[in-house]
Amino acid sequence: GAVVSQHPSRVICKSGTSVKIECRSLDFQATTMFWYRQFPKQSLMLMATSNEGSKATYEQGVEKDKFLINHASLTLSTLTVTSAHPEDSSFYICSARAVGVAKNIQYFGAGTRLSVL
C-alpha cells in the first residue's frame, strides 16, 4: 500500500525558533500534498495544498509567511513553522495524493506533535 512518511514525529522547540517538518511519499509519486493542523479532540483543519514545482495554496486565515511550504519533488514536501510561538503548538499531519489510478485518495503521514516552549 501507499506509504507516507512524516518526520519528525515529535519536536520540542524554544519560542522564536523555526521547525521544519518533512513529508515523503515512499512508494508513489504525489502531485499534490496537503498539510493539516489538528487541535485536541477536533477534526483536521486544512492549512494548505502544495503542488510539486509551484506555490502552495493556503487556506483563509493561514499565514503564508508563518507556515512556509515547499514541494520540491514528487515525493517530498516540507512545512516550516517560522518563529514558532506557544500558540503554534499542535499536531500537524500531512497527506499525499497519488498520481494515476488512485489519484483521488489521500494517504496520511503519522503526524508531528509540535510543542513550543
Partner 1 sequence: AQSVTQPDIHITVSEGASLELRCNYSYGATPYLFWYVQSPGQGLQLLLKYFSGDTLVQGIKGFEAEFKRSQSSFNLRKPSVHWSDAAEYFCAVYRGSTLGRLYFGRGTQLTVWP
The single-letter code of the amino acid at 29 is Q
Q: How far is the CB of 52 from partner 1 (least distance, A)?
A: 13
Residues that bind partner 1 (CB under 8 A): 4, 6, 32, 34, 41-44, 46, 49, 51, 57, 91, 93, 95, 97, 103-111, 113
**At its nearest, how many Å lie between partner 1 and the CB of residue 62?**
14
| CB of residue 32 to partner 1, shortest distance in Å | 5
User: Locate cell 515512499: which residue?
Assistant: 26
CB atoms within 10 A of CB 70: 15
Nearer to partner 1, 70 or 82 (CB): 70
Cis peptide before 8 (omega within 30 of 0): yes
Query: 5: closest CA among 77, 71, 58?
Result: 77
